Amino acid sequence: MSSLIIGEKSFTSRLLLGTGKYPSFAIQKEAVQVSKAEILTFALRRMNVFEPSQPNFLEMLDLSRYTLLPNTAGAKTAEEAVRTAKLAKASGLCDMVKVEIIGCEKSLLPDPVETLRASKMLLEEGFTVLTYTSDDVVLAKRIEELGVHAIMPGASPIGSGKGILNPLNLKLIIEQAKVPVIIDAGIGSPKDASYAMELGADAVLLNTAVSGAKDPVKMAEAMSLAIKAGRLGYEAGRIEESDYGVASSPMEGLFST
Amino acid sequence: MSSLIIGEKSFTSRLLLGTGKYPSFAIQKEAVQVSKAEILTFALRRMNVFEPSQPNFLEMLDLSRYTLLPNTAGAKTAEEAVRTAKLAKASGLCDMVKVEIIGCEKSLLPDPVETLRASKMLLEEGFTVLTYTSDDVVLAKRIEELGVHAIMPGASPIGSGKGILNPLNLKLIIEQAKVPVIIDAGIGSPKDASYAMELGADAVLLNTAVSGAKDPVKMAEAMSLAIKAGRLGYEAGRIEESDYGVASSPMEGLFST
Amino acid sequence: MSSLIIGEKSFTSRLLLGTGKYPSFAIQKEAVQVSKAEILTFALRRMNVFEPSQPNFLEMLDLSRYTLLPNTAGAKTAEEAVRTAKLAKASGLCDMVKVEIIGCEKSLLPDPVETLRASKMLLEEGFTVLTYTSDDVVLAKRIEELGVHAIMPGASPIGSGKGILNPLNLKLIIEQAKVPVIIDAGIGSPKDASYAMELGADAVLLNTAVSGAKDPVKMAEAMSLAIKAGRLGYEAGRIEESDYGVASSPMEGLFST
Amino acid sequence: MSSLIIGEKSFTSRLLLGTGKYPSFAIQKEAVQVSKAEILTFALRRMNVFEPSQPNFLEMLDLSRYTLLPNTAGAKTAEEAVRTAKLAKASGLCDMVKVEIIGCEKSLLPDPVETLRASKMLLEEGFTVLTYTSDDVVLAKRIEELGVHAIMPGASPIGSGKGILNPLNLKLIIEQAKVPVIIDAGIGSPKDASYAMELGADAVLLNTAVSGAKDPVKMAEAMSLAIKAGRLGYEAGRIEESDYGVASSPMEGLFST
């Protein structure tokens, strides 16, 4: 399999793993290791980088081994998102940022207007910008035209586990994109992750599907394999679908003549 | 992962691979190796075991390393299926047989009446019997009640690549079964194989999805990984689905108070 | 729209309505009227035809206006089903009977073996036989070959409201059938009934979707319209699906040149 | 059924019919009549209102009987859309306008940025504005917040006949909306139209599904019935779905005790 390239960095793994809501730091650590993820995401709000007296929820991880991708979750406007990202950069955490601006508290779906504005502003500040967006095809194009380094359309609402609600839109987004497309949000099980990759996505970002599984470590391994399977399946070129049967064995019997 | 046990044999791999219709014997051989399958299926009709002057289409494989599972494809009645299976046994090929009696040339879907009869007759002859059937839930129960060693419901028509048309029926079959359930027929891509395993299937049988892919060797690897991913995902216990979003990151911003 | 012909009878309506489980006899009566159904189904077991001292749950209906289609629900074997049907005939209730033999108490899915046997026996007794079956394509063919007057494949488990789980199987059954195909069981809402008809079904049988709705009378009307809509849609010939957009309006603007 | 109210007007029919691409003016006229639509849509670009020497493609219709809803198809920017709409208003055609700004020639999906801008500008000009948009949930909210009189999310790409790709998003849009939600684009057959209404939509806009059917007049009738069926089904309150069977007939047989 080829590498995933985002901005100026190159990655072997096509799984980006979120670090939120694991049952314990120990399970978080083991799930991260087993997943073989090279990029870890987290909410800047949760990272107590700004409050050194508090426990740092990434403290058990050897952060030098990972690329950190903080997100701006909690921000409701572009300005809030930019301030969050700048603080993260100032503290030496990262140059990459995931724009995540929620526009609806119930569905946790992203706000297109503030997402566009925040992406533009962060690019002007020199960030490597990955933008979480809905699966709106033209919106994804408009975001890409700003110059972002990756677009991250959601498969379904964050944490919903609904999987890929609209594979056609994702396929259209992937077809038109010239930067990496990372399917983000809504993945529920390995089949969903594999499907995302089979559609031609460059990577998948997961959090709740792993951290919320009964056995997060085992699910981390499952997802790691599923993403590889999906990528290989995409590269291998699947068979066409047919409404009728297509024999793999001969239809005439040994004795039928 | 635990082992797959069929009859008196135990297997590590949960992928059964068909040997028909590869572009070449060399590709067939490599795909078989990469897939890590331990059980190979083939149509007795195609195997020139009965015509030694003809090339044997399994000849490049070291058959001592595999369990062979011949199928009765081509038989249209129970009697034809039994005669085929007995010849295979007499030639020392195997004790296991996959009952496959097609009832419709267009859809290649199985005949429930002859399938039941053939399964019963082959059990009486002492075979280890694995029965290919539709996803009819009560039919699967009736077949199991005969004493078969595994039931093999189809996901969709043979070679169609449609994937799992009716996950509910497969789930009901798996829930009620006390023998292994092997999803057979219709799998199109890794996501389908993973899904079958996530539903709780014990194994997946593939042929066209691999042999008909643009790159069969790569697809064999993809399927091998997908089946592991699906099994691990099943064991790990996936998250519940929700219609609304469930936050993995905090909803209040750094600056929102 | 053309007529529905079953055995020697001809019907204008393509909705068969079940009479079980309405909130009251008055609502049952009104729903039946609004539905414009000409064939009413009921379980012989529930009809107190054999116990005249008990209230007859069809008593508010002017039965002379309807064709009655009793079913054999409750029978677990062909013999039980035949005895039930003969009693109904002896009491002058009907010549038509719906074979319904449940093989699984949990899923309420039909037993293929007893269903085949009962259909054969009832045909030999001279009944007009309509057989409820799974969506197993070859099983439907075997049932039709017995000489039944209609086949009634289920869309999903009785009362489940899951709609059409496997449209491909229903399409294959409809394509091969020379007798009417009546989709029976599992319909949940008008879209499902319309879909069944769009696939080319001759009629739809409903019960729980109407009787269990919050407003059964309004739902009866909805279903009546949906079945007409689906039939007309089938006859009208729908557009092909396309993955990309197909303009109905011009793409060049008034001012764009 | 209650009335559909858009701006200051009230309608009995919940079907809005497009007037483009019929095989002939005569068929267009008959389809319009049979559909019972009260609102007709057309592309201003196609209407030769600006070129009186050309045949007017609506000329066979008695326009006084219909509310006309011109759309801005062909416009690629808000400014173009506004100019088109103002010309239509000046010629006395209408006060209502459907904002339709395509952002991708291949998928014909709408441009969120120009759509927002055009909606705002047309509201400021005093139009009754109905806005065609993707099924992006927060985008629909932002459009509604501008003060538009209806939002028109697409079910799938224009003319694709794919039906409803993402029912969850449509449901979320409908739940949050305080103005009418009209499902627009992608409907392929009556079941899709019924489904849109069952989700709680206020109306459905169709064009290609009718004009492109083999028999557009019959399909117009089918769609008219399906939309009524779906609305009644929504009002009637459908049954819950269940994974297992729910008996409408008794499970114990007449003879089983």
* Weakest-pLDDT range from A225-234, B220-229, D101-110, D242-251: D242-251
Residue D203 labelled as part of a binding site? no
Q: Residue A8 has what pLDDT?
A: 86
Global confidence as pTM: 0.91
Q: Classify residue A119: in a domain, yes or no.
A: yes
- Provide the number of structural domains found in chain C: 1
Confidence label for A52 from pLDDT (cuts 50, 70 and 90)? low
Confidence grade of residue B183 (pLDDT, cut at 50, 70, 90): very high
Q: How far apart are CA C144 and CA C148, in angstroms?
A: 5
For residue A106, the chain D residues in CB contact (below 8 A) are 172, 176
- C243 vs A contacts (CB less than 8 Å): 168, 171
| Inside any domain, residue B77 | yes
Give the 3-state secondary structure of residue A57. coil
| Overall average pLDDT of the D105-115 stretch | 93
Residue B61: pLDDT band (50, 70, 90) is: confident
Question: What percent of chain C shows pLDDT beyond 90?
Answer: 69
Report the Cα B187 to chain-centroid distance in Å: 9
- DSSP-assigned states of every residue in B170-205: HHHHHHH-SS-BEEES---SHHHHHHHHHTT-SEEE
pLDDT at D57 over 70: no
3-state SS string for D174-194: HHHCCCCEEEECCCCCHHHHH
pLDDT for the residue A92: 76
Subunit partners of chain C (3 or more CB pairs within 8 A): A, B, D
Three-class secondary structure assignment of B116-145: HHHHHHHHHCCCEEEEEECCCHHHHHHHHH
pLDDT the model gives residue B253: 47
Using pLDDT thresholds of 50, 70 and 90, give the confidence band for residue A255.
Answer: very low
Pairs of CB atoms within 8 A across B/D: 4
Residue A195 above 80 pLDDT? yes
Confidence of residue D31 (pLDDT cuts 50, 70, 90): very high
The stretch A166-181 carries a mean pLDDT of 96
Mean pLDDT of D168-180: 96
* pLDDT above 50 (res B255): no
Tell me the pLDDT band of D255, cut-offs 50, 70 and 90.
very low
Q: Which helix (H) or strand (E) element contains residue B9?
A: strand B9-11
Closest CA to A209 of A100, A196, D172: A196
Q: What count of other Cβ atoms lies within 10 Å of the Cβ of residue B87?
A: 16
Q: Is residue D251 in a domain?
A: no
Which of these is catalytic: D29, D36, D89, D98?
D98
Rounded CA-CA distance A230/A149 in Å is 23
List all residues 6 or more positions away from D20 whose beta carbon is below 8 Å from its beta carbon: C248, C249, D42, D43, D46, D207, D208, D211
C73 vs B15, more confident: B15
pLDDT bracket for residue D257 (50, 70, 90): very low
Q: Given the DSSP bridges, would you call strands A9-11 and A4-6 parallel, antiparallel or unpaired?
A: antiparallel
Mean pLDDT computed over C45-57? 56
Q: Which of A239-253, D42-56, D124-138 has the lowest mean pLDDT?
A: D42-56
Judge whether C171 is closer than 8 Å to chain A, CB to CB: yes
Residue A181 has pLDDT above 50, yes or no: yes
- Separation of alpha carbons D132 and D130, rounded Å: 7
User: Is the per-residue pLDDT at C17 higher than 70?
Assistant: yes
Determine the Cα–Cα distance for residues B123 and D97; give it in Å rounded to an integer: 73
Q: How many degrees, rounded to 5, is the angle at CA A256 between CA B112 and CA B54?
A: 120
Task: Look up residue C161 and give its two tokens.
Answer: 């409201």
CATH number at residue C120: 3.20.20.70
| Percent above pLDDT 70 for chain C | 90
B238:A106 CB<8 A? no
The pLDDT of residue D253: 46
Q: Lay out the sheet containing B182-184: strands in order across.
A: B150-153, B128-133, B96-99, B67-71, B39-43, B15-18, B203-206, B182-184
Mean of the pLDDT values across residues D151-159? 94
Q: Is the pLDDT of residue A50 over 70?
A: no
Please name the member of A168, A171, A243 whose beta carbon is closest to the beta carbon of C168: A243
Q: How far apart are CA D187 and CA D212, in angstroms?
A: 12
Q: Flag the least confident range among A222-236, B106-120, C80-94, C167-181.
A: C80-94
**Surface of C (117-146) touching D: CB under 8 A:** none
Q: pLDDT of C201-257, one tens digit each?
A: 999 999 999 999 999 999 999 999 999 999 999 999 999 998 877 776 655 544 433
Q: C93-143 pLDDT, tens per residue?
A: 778 999 999 998 888 999 999 999 999 999 999 999 999 999 999 999 999
Nearest CB neighbour to A168, from listed C168, C171, C243: C243
Residue type, A5: I
Do D250 and C73 lie within an 8 Å CB cutoff? yes
pLDDT tens readout for residues A70-112: 899 889 999 999 998 988 888 777 789 999 999 988 889 999 9
Q: Over pLDDT 70: what percentage of chain B?
A: 90
A98 is catalytic: yes
Cβ contact D225–C223 (<8 Å): no
Which of A30, A224, A185 is closest to B229 using CA atoms?
A224
B94 has a pLDDT exceeding 80: no
Residue C256 is assigned to a structural domain of this protein? no
How much is the pLDDT for D48? 52
Q: What is the DSSP letter of D102?
A: B
Range of the domain at D222: 4-236
Q: Which of C161, C171, C162 is nearest to C197 (CA)?
A: C171
Spatial separation of the C-alpha atoms in residues D191 and C233, rounded to whole Å: 9
Pairing label, strands B9-11, B4-6:
antiparallel
| Residue-averaged pLDDT of chain D | 89
Q: How many CB atoms lie within 10 A of CB D85?
A: 28
Q: Which residue of B has its CA nearest to A240?
A: B161
Residue B184 lies in a domain: yes
Q: Give D182-209 pLDDT, tens digit per residue.
A: 999 999 999 999 999 999 999 999 999 9
D77/A contact by beta carbon, under 8 A = no
* B97 domain-assigned: yes
Give the model's pLDDT for residue A216.
Answer: 97
Between chains, do C112 and B138 touch, taking CB under 8 Å as contact? Answer: yes
Q: What is the pLDDT of residues B231-251, one digit of tens each?
A: 999 999 999 998 877 776 655
Whether D168 contacts chain B with CB within 8 A: yes
pLDDT score for B21:
87
**Is D243 within the bounds of a domain?**
no
Query: Under an 8 A CB cutoff, do D226 and C225 touch?
Result: yes
CA atoms within 13 A on the CB side of B13: 23
B230 lies in a domain?
A: yes
Q: Do the chains contact at C160 and D44, CB–CB below 8 Å?
A: no
Q: Is C138–B166 a contact, with Cβ atoms under 8 angstroms apart? A: no
What's the CA dihedral at B237, B198, A230, B17 to 10 degrees? 140
Q: Which of D191, D192, D198 to mutate to test the interface with C (most CBs of C within 10 A)?
A: D191
Name the residue among A11, A4, A22 with its Cα closest to residue A209. A22
Distance CA C129, CA C111 (A): 16
Question: Highest-confidence range of A14-23, C61-70, C246-255, by mean pLDDT?
Answer: A14-23
Q: Mean pLDDT of all residues in chain C?
A: 89
* Nearest CB to D168 within list B168, B171, B243: B243
pLDDT at residue D59, rounded to an integer: 66
Q: What is the pLDDT of residue A249?
A: 60
Q: What percent of chain D has pLDDT over 90?
A: 69
